[in-house]
Chains A and B, each alone.
Chain A
Amino acid sequence: MTRAQPKVTPPVSVLGVSVAPSRYHTRRTLVRDLLPYVAIAPAFLTFVLLLGYPVLLLFLTSGQKFGLFELFNNVTTYIGIDNYYDLLFKSPAGLPDFMTVLIRTVVFMVANVVLTIALGTLVALLLAKLDKWVRIVLTSAMVLAWAMPVVTGAVLFQWLFDSKLGVVNWFISSTGIFGDYLNHSWFATGLSTFAVVTLLIVWQAIPFVALSLYAGILSIPKELPEAARVDGAGEREIFSHITLPALRPLLMMLIFLSVIWDFKVFTQIYAIRGGGPDNETITLSLYSQQLGINQHQFGVAAAAAVIMMMLLLLVLVPYIRRMVKSQEEQ
């Protein structure tokens, strides 16, 4: 890349001898060479200090005996992997044991990701088939769901699923298929609370997936499915041999993102029942928060967060690799 540079005339002394033009020039280029580093310095320092320090602190804390006493008296006692041992083999008072929570979190994540991606793909395919006005209506409806703040969604879904006055129970009862649902409490068991949380998450996540995939479908040259159709291919064959392979890279990114998001969900679960009933909807991020902020077992809480971060890295590393690669290709 060539860049226009302002013309620099070296200062000339009264005697007509040029004064150290070379040194003058060096100083200019030195400033020019340093400038990019000065410009990125605030951001760089933010990442290294403000983000790097908490990450470091997380690992350090996970190896320390760290309760309220340590917090107020500023003492540090390293106890090696004791926190991890406690986490894995002792269940903390008033909370489920770690393995239960871990398995629950993974199952919850998988359910959300599968539903989001499968239904999102179906909606994207539907969008491609709709008449223009229906497509505009559906897109607008999805943007509404997508734009909704997560806390609003959590509050709203409690109203929709309210046992007495909720519109969902009224609707189910009035269709009559499942019998009388009036006064049915959706938040009485963990599984049913999870069902509502999942519906909320999927409801808000499908629009992003569907609209991204629809944009991907639009970028497939129209000649491809047309030619296949001429050759006698059915809709299913067109999907599995043309649409799906074309969408694969995009689909992979969406799956990665969904896994990351759904693995660390906090607000939806916490705002709906605070991990209840009976701690049955506590997942990893709530577990670490409850252990640390509520029970002041900061060391054990940090250990739980470290394990959560390590598991996330399994997905984050390939995702970030793809992200950087696609940016550099631009």
Chain B
Amino acid sequence: MSRRMRRVLINGLGVLVAIFFAFPVYWMVNTAFKTQDQFQTYTPVFIPIPTLDNFVRALGAQNLILLIRNSVMVSVSTVLLSLIVGFLAAVTLARVKFKGRAWFLLLVAIAQMAPFEALLIPIFLAIRNGLPGPLSLLPIGYNQVPTLILIYFIFTLPFTIWSLRGFVAGIPPDLEEAAMVDGASRFQAFMKVTLPLLAPGLVATSIFCFITAWNEYLYAYTFMSDPTNYTLPVWLVSFQTNFGTDWGATMAASTLFTLPVLIFFLVVQRRMVGGLTQGAVRG
């Protein structure tokens, strides 16, 4: 076999594999833009004459605005809470040598690998019983949306610490010290020198937390009984069950749900490969 033929074959294989990965996504978007008779045929239509009808039907679903609000509220609050608590711990881990540091690091690593699928039952029982003492005043309980913030905060905190710790450690402390020699206070040096350099790390970590909270299904499904308290993943799965035959609207809803994740994912994709085996979030 000639060298040229080999190259063509290898690249051809590459294209085939690419089609395997891209096709389902293409098919989702493709179906979302089809008219009813274009997706309800035995012979599939590969390039539809686009219509927005499916999106109109999907967006017309009952309570959808409320559910979008739930999902955004839960995801954004999770990010903020995780970032604040995680940041303090991460900076300390990266910059200060204190007694017990290695133990704390181990605790973070263990927490990161905690199998939440196995903790569903005790968390359910704890939430059902309500929080003890003054904490019972918090709107945390069965069928209360803020409960999910608390749970996702516990999910994402270890990763937040682990990831931010790496980013802070990557910024040489000499930079801060130089600023302090020039008369800045420790706080000023941190705000003016380290924080701007840390911005990409903060963005990447926030996105990880956001995607985790945005995509989570098991806990949202278990804890939210009222359809107005659902988050979007729970709605999407039940939407598909209820509108089983309306694949156009289902795919339009799926596309809309996926879009923010895809955009965010592309922002951080480069960072995800690389130090990724350090406990990644899948999907």
Contact = CB atoms under 8 A, between A and B. Distances in A.
Contacts of B110: 320
Nearest to B85: A42
A222 interface: no
Nearest to A173: B42
B154 A46 contact: yes
A47 B236 contact: no
B19 to A, nearest CB: 7
B25 interface: yes
Contacts of B108: 43, 47
A147 interface: yes
A155 B236 contact: yes
B247 A54 contact: no
Contact of B40 (A42, A165, A205): A165
Q: Which 8 A-B pairs have the closest CB atoms?
A: A147-B265, A57-B122, A141-B22, A43-B89, A141-B21, A285-B117, A141-B18, A36-B98
B217 interface: yes
Contacts of B44: 167, 170
A82 B13 CA distance: 56
A149 B218 contact: no
A249 to B, nearest CB: 9
A314 interface: no
Contact of A147 (B105, B262, B273): B262
A32 B237 CA distance: 52
A195 interface: no
B93 interface: yes
B251 A134 contact: no
Given A155-B237, A266-B218, A126 B13 contact: yes
Contacts of A40: 88-89, 92-93, 104
Interface residues of B, number: 103
Interface of B: 7, 10-11, 13-15, 17-22, 24-25, 27-28, 31, 39-44, 85-86, 88-89, 91-93, 96-98, 102, 104-111, 113-115, 117-126, 128-129, 150, 153-154, 157-158, 161-162, 166, 169, 173, 177, 180-181, 185-186, 211, 214-215, 217-218, 222, 233, 236-237, 240, 247, 250-251, 254, 257-258, 261-262, 265-266, 269, 272-274, 276-280, 282-283
A29 B31 CA distance: 66
Contacts of A253: 277
Contacts of B214: 149
Contacts of B25: 144-145, 148
Contacts of B119: 54-55, 58, 305
